[in-house]
Amino acid sequence: MDQQITRDDARSLLIRAGLSPSDERLDRLAQGLQAARAAAAALAAFEMGYRGPAPFRAPPASVRGLRGS
Amino acid sequence: MAADLHWLSIAEAAPLIQRRELSPVDLVDACLGRVEALDGRLNAFITVLADEARTAALGAADEIASGRYRGPLHGVPVALKDIFAVAGTPMTAAALIYGDVVAEEDSAATGRLREAGAIILGTLNLHEIALGATGINPHTGPARNPWNTGHITGGSSSGAGAGVAAGLFFAGMGTDTGGSIRIPAALCGVTGIKPTFGRVSRRGLLPLSWSLDHAGPLTRTVEDAALVMQAIAGHDAGDPASSRADVPDYGATLADGVRGLRLGVPDRYFGEGVDADVEAAFREAVRQLQNLGAEITEFTPPHTDEMPGAIAAIMLPEAFAFHQAAVRERPDDIGEDVRYRLELGAAYPAAEYIQALRFREMLVETWRQDVFSRIDLVATATTMVAARPIDKSDLSTTFSLIRHTNPFNLLGTPAISVPCGFTGDGLPIGLQLAGRWFDEATVLRAAHAYESTTDWHSRPPPL
């Protein structure tokens, strides 16, 4: 992944998630996001064929309505 | 014997309790005395339930006297990381953002421990919301390593590691999303097992990452870990990921040894950049297992380059998904390192999360076909380093702690850490053994065989 994630990129990504990052934290966040993006690029390049994530399975009736587990 | 009650193993204490030669009341008092004497230095507990524990111990003593002995945990003091719900007790997650929550009912693990007769001594310190591997916490303060109180315990189950190692209780329940049971076990010189994903219910736990979270015990011996696993393992409809796989009698095969077991030592990724003391102790442990009859083989672990990115791409967005309201509404009440990780989780594109889930499906299948078809167990050092000084532990420390453990969270296989030596500075080192899905019995059996020929686990810390 050649594209550099800037402070403004980091700010935009976090605002999109409903967060309000302070200026002094943006450099570190941009670095972290850059590293995460590079790792994700390795996954994206991986040949996995026609494989999806684990299929959805409805929980048993006894646990419906629970918050998390 | 009275002065050393706290150093008994569960397996040693249980027959004494059953024969009424040892009272649960005396055992609880011994532990509470130990807590009073040492926890000001160790900071293992968040809430000590002294009155409740004494009342429960009296009840256990009466029950046993009337002929209703429940089994090897009956009357044995235990404690739980403060993300396990204990009815009527605050569940703080060692975080300001959840500090005023009181659990209305027990977690599944708490309930099963109570059913087995265990005495709940209290709730334990942790890395804030379990999102970190050092145990350093700006709100509750760090739990301190009994082997050197200026050093970290590792985390996130920091109080469990410190408390078991210091003899404050006999078993500590922890959770493990990237190594949070095995890391403090290794750094504090005790045993910790992360079972197979789905083996132990997470109902009533504060989630960190639903698809990577595991619950399991830290104990002073492998046999004790097997006893606790026997009590807590098994299907629970309250955890959608809970497995219906049968739970074997772990004690039945514990003493079967390692003769003929195929032990795989990775030839890459694991072991790269490991501290010299840790590497030497690990190699000696492998030699010891070989002397006991294990067949040692080197193998190339598949897809290790992609593993760290996949773990982060699953764990961080899942953590943000659960904690997002707190991150939005009270960001300044979250410690800097935890806030940073949650904010990274907020920024992952959905496609990267999905891609990581796809990768995990493939990874599990590859390891099943190419690794666990040829070997029975994988052996690594649990961590790359021993416990670091508290004031010198940072993100690079975290990397060195989680690199060997978190692949087995991604895979969902059982993995144990047992003591395998000490550094030149007298700090414990852990050996990690990982096995096939739902084969905790072989993991425990091999760890027990190793432990039985060493004395690392029985050395008390210099408190």
- Alpha-carbon span B34 to B2, nearest angstrom: 12
Q: Do A54 and B324 touch (CB under 8 A)?
A: no
- CB contacts of A10 in chain B (<8 Å) are 347
- pTM reported for the whole predicted model: 0.96
3-state helix, strand, coil in chain B (%, to 5): 45, 15, 40
Residue listed under structure tokens 């950049």: B273
Report which of B437, B421, B344, B340 is spatially closest to residue B383, judged by C-alpha positions.
Answer: B421
To the query of whether residue B211 is one of the catalytic residues in this protein, the response is no
Chain A contact for B85 (CB, 8 A cutoff): no
* Residue of B201, B322, B357 with shortest CB distance to A68: B322
Bridging pattern class, strands B77-81 and B119-124 = parallel
Q: Residues of A with CB below 8 A from B344's CB?
A: 29, 32-33, 36
ipTM value > 0.85: no
- Structure tokens given for B432: 């990690």
Name every residue whose Cβ is closer than 8 Å to that of residue B127 and which is 6 or more positions away in sequence. Answer: B94, B133, B134, B135, B136, B137, B155, B156, B158, B180, B338
Dist. CA B247–CA B262, nearest whole Å: 23
Both structure tokens of B93? 């997650």
B107, B180, B201, B243: which is the annotated catalytic residue? B180
Cross-chain CB nearest to B359 (options A13, A46, A60): A46
Q: Tell if the CB–CB gap between B328 and A19 is shorter than 8 Å.
A: yes
Task: List the single residue in B239, B328, B352 with the smallest CB-CB distance to A18.
Answer: B328
Letter for the amino acid at B238? G
Cβ distance of B237 and A32 shorter than 8 Å = no
Residue of A nearest to B309 (CA): A39
Question: Is A65 touching B (CB cutoff 8 A)?
Answer: no
pLDDT band at A36 (very low <50, low <70, confident <90, very high): confident
Which residue on chain A is closest to B213 by alpha carbon?
Answer: A69
pLDDT tens for chain B, residues 1 to 463 = 455 999 999 999 999 999 999 999 999 999 999 999 999 999 999 999 999 999 999 999 999 999 999 999 999 999 999 999 999 999 999 999 998 889 999 999 999 999 999 999 999 999 999 999 999 999 999 999 999 999 999 999 999 999 999 999 999 999 999 999 999 999 999 999 999 999 999 999 999 999 999 999 999 999 999 999 999 999 999 999 999 999 999 999 999 999 999 999 999 999 889 999 999 999 999 999 999 999 999 999 999 989 999 999 999 999 999 999 999 999 999 999 999 999 999 999 898 999 999 999 999 999 999 999 999 999 999 999 999 999 998 888 999 999 999 999 999 999 999 999 999 999 999 999 999 999 999 999 999 999 999 999 999 999 9
Tokens at B343, concatenated: 């904010």
